[in-house]
Chain A
Amino acid sequence: MRRKLGAGDVTFNILNYMFLAALMVCTLYPFINLLAISLNESTDTLRGQVYLWPNALTWDNYRVVFQNEMLLGATLRSVARTVLGTALSLIGSVMLAYTLSRKEFFLRKSINLIMVISMYISGGLIPTYILIKNLGLTNSFWVYIIPGLISVFNVIIIRTYFDQLPDGLVEAARIDGANEFQTLFRIVIPVSMPVLATVTLFVSVGHWNSWFDNYMYNTRDNLNLLQYELMKILMQSTQQVTSNATGSLSSESLRQITPQSIRATMTIIVTIPILFVYPFLQRYFIKGIMIGAVKE
């Protein structure tokens, strides 16, 4: 028994679909435009008129960017940071979350309290900087991984998921003589893939997108990340900046193409991996977020 659509309903539907379609275009167009620019000959780009597709198709921009040793190194470091950082952070968060989901664990309440308070109190940028410097983590690759190893938010999401698994699961493993590590890695983790996929997405995207720790703690060029190199180029185009930010553009090999083309190409290079993993994980993350939102 469906009600017939009135004229008002039809108009609303048309307007609604048009608005949402426009929203999609607004979201996608900048990326498509930059993709077109990155695939267009850089001298041709200067004339303007590049919108949805390249006028003079070429791979030159990508070739030039990847031939630049500094940028290639930065790309590899970004990949290393993302893979290693995500793996370590995930292992840590899962183990911590598992112990907090074990009701008999005698430190459970204390650790919970330590975690929750840490969400609301922070020493601030300067004390943290001094600590990291005193620990000898400045000018080192590990500053990208260790300080942010445990995200309380992610631990809570994972723990909430573990909490709602049936008690029998862990008990059965216990009766079979499994120890805690075996229970976690052989029983609990295999049934927790949706939440682990969500957290993997969050953590890996966070690592891939980070640049501020690079800016704060690492001054040596051989530790720079791709996002930071892109940031330097961006800053250079908008203002006179300190001499340390002029490195990459003044290099001889990059002069073959215009700054505009370098920026577009690098933007695409840092965006592509995200567009690539995101659809595969998308079906999990909505569920994962809702788990985190229900409790806490």
Chain B
Amino acid sequence: MNIRSTLQQDVQGQARVRTGGKLLGKKIKSQYQLLLMSIPFVIILILFSYVPLWGWIMAFQKYSPGKGISGSPFVGFDNFIKLFHDDRFFLVLRNTLVMSILSLVTSFVGAITLALLLNEVKHVLFKRAVQTITYIPHFVSMVVIANIVITFLSPDGGFVNQILMATGIIHEPIYFMSKGEWFWGIHTLTVLWKELGWSTIIYLAVISGLNPETYEAAEVDGAGRFQKIWHISIPGLLPTATMLLILSLGSIVNTGYESQFLLGNSLTTDFYEVLDLYALNISFGSGQYSIGVALSIFKCVVSLILVLSVNKLVKKAGQASLF
């Protein structure tokens, strides 16, 4: 019986191998509409996400645009060695890490606090108004946001300087945007202002999904508002919050560069330049394309390692993992 069934399976297996080509043809024939719907877009995806990886070869060459990838000589790891001996690289890496950690922490704390406060509002219309209004900056372009920040901090009649002067805190207008050491703070506050409302969405959803009976039971036991927040809402938020925090750690070197580009100026370069902007600068500014690509590779590899190890961490913690 056993032997017969394995034999049968074997025969079937061989048959499958033989008809493999035919089967594929049959599948293509019967699912050609699904193929028509997907293949063109998969090709675009592959073209713009995978084909650029070919350009990584440049990092191991002494690339010059005139010779192209096929004509440029190979130099091994020279570009990486140059990159890791470049002081500017470490400065830029520092800027990237500092700004993403600052934004990560402030938005994390801010979103949870705002979600808890909003949850205490029993007036539905007021709550909805706060949500609607605080979501707006998320949808407004960074160009506009930067414009607002620069206008409001302007030493030439800017709102903030006007207030500080009127209240007598300062007597001379402050040139906020020209002070490198203030850039990180201004950048962090700008990003917080833009994304604060939007980032509460997920926490509000989690709080509203918590069991109302727990709150009622606590109330019967005489728990006050703060005790309910401390013992029910916050522990309820914690799993989601840790998960999100850990996941965003994975993208810590992968932050955007738009906000830095728009808020920064030549006086604050040492503080605003992040990895991507430096890669652009070193490539198009000084023609060292190979080093720019080496920088991109470094960034991609580090963030991949971070994402994978973070995923492992989450798995160990028993949470649903990313993959």
Contact = CB atoms under 8 A, between A and B. Distances in A.
Contacts of B289: 126
A27 B148 CA distance: 11
A208 interface: yes
Interface stretch (B6-14, B47-55, B78-86, B101-109): B47-55
Contacts of B137: 27
Interface string B197-234: 10001100100000000000001000011000000000
A185 to B, nearest CB: 11
Q: Using C-beta atoms within 8 Å of the partner chain, give the interface range for chain A.
A: 35 or more
Interface in B264-309: 265-267, 276, 279-280, 283, 289, 292-293, 295-297, 299-300, 303-304, 307
- Give the contact-size bracket for chain B: 35 or more
Nearest to A182: B33
Contact of B45 (A26, A114, A122, A263): A114
A195 to B, nearest CB: 16
B219 A23 contact: no
A234 B144 CA distance: 9
B41 A96 contact: yes
B82 to A, nearest CB: 16
A56 B143 CA distance: 27
A27 B130 CA distance: 10
B74 interface: no
Given A8-B224, A121-B300, A263-B147, A282 B141 contact: no
A6 interface: yes
B42 A123 contact: no
B238 interface: no
A55 to B, nearest CB: 14
A245 interface: no
Contacts of B126: 17, 20
Interface stretch (B87-95, B113-121, B180-188): B113-121
A124 interface: yes
Given A106-B31, A114-B46, A227-B143, 9 more contacts: A34-B148, A48-B157, A95-B38, A122-B49, A122-B296, A124-B279, A127-B56, A205-B139, A234-B147
A66 interface: no
B151 interface: yes
Contacts, number: 225
Interface string B164-185: 0000000000000100000000
Interface string A181-211: 1001000000000000000000001001101
A34 B151 contact: yes
A278 B38 contact: no
A74 to B, nearest CB: 12
Contacts of A223: none
Given A115-B45, A227-B143, A99 B177 contact: no
Contacts of B267: 239
Sort A-B residue pairs by CB-CB distance and give the 10 closest, nearest first: A127-B55, A124-B296, A123-B52, A209-B141, A180-B33, A118-B49, A127-B52, A95-B37, A239-B265, A99-B38
A125 B224 contact: no
B296 A230 contact: no
A208 B139 CA distance: 10
B50 A98 contact: no
B261 to A, nearest CB: 8
By secondary structure, the A interface counts as helix
A127 B289 CA distance: 9
Nearest to A201: B139
A27 B118 CA distance: 16
B242 to A, nearest CB: 15
Interface string B133-165: 111110111111011101110000101001000
B69 to A, nearest CB: 8
Interface string A146-159: 11111010000000
B18 interface: no
B275 to A, nearest CB: 10
A26 B307 CA distance: 36
Contacts of B162: 48
B50 A270 contact: no
A124 B144 contact: no
Interface string A70-87: 000000000000000000
A102 interface: yes
Interface string A250-264: 000000000010011
A264 to B, nearest CB: 8
B117 A19 contact: yes
Given A20-B130, A234-B262, A239-B266, A128 B48 contact: yes
A59 interface: no
A274 B49 CA distance: 29
Nearest to B69: A130
A279 B136 CA distance: 10
Given A27-B137, A114-B45, A124 B52 contact: yes
Contacts of B49: 118, 121-123
B44 interface: yes
A123 B44 contact: no
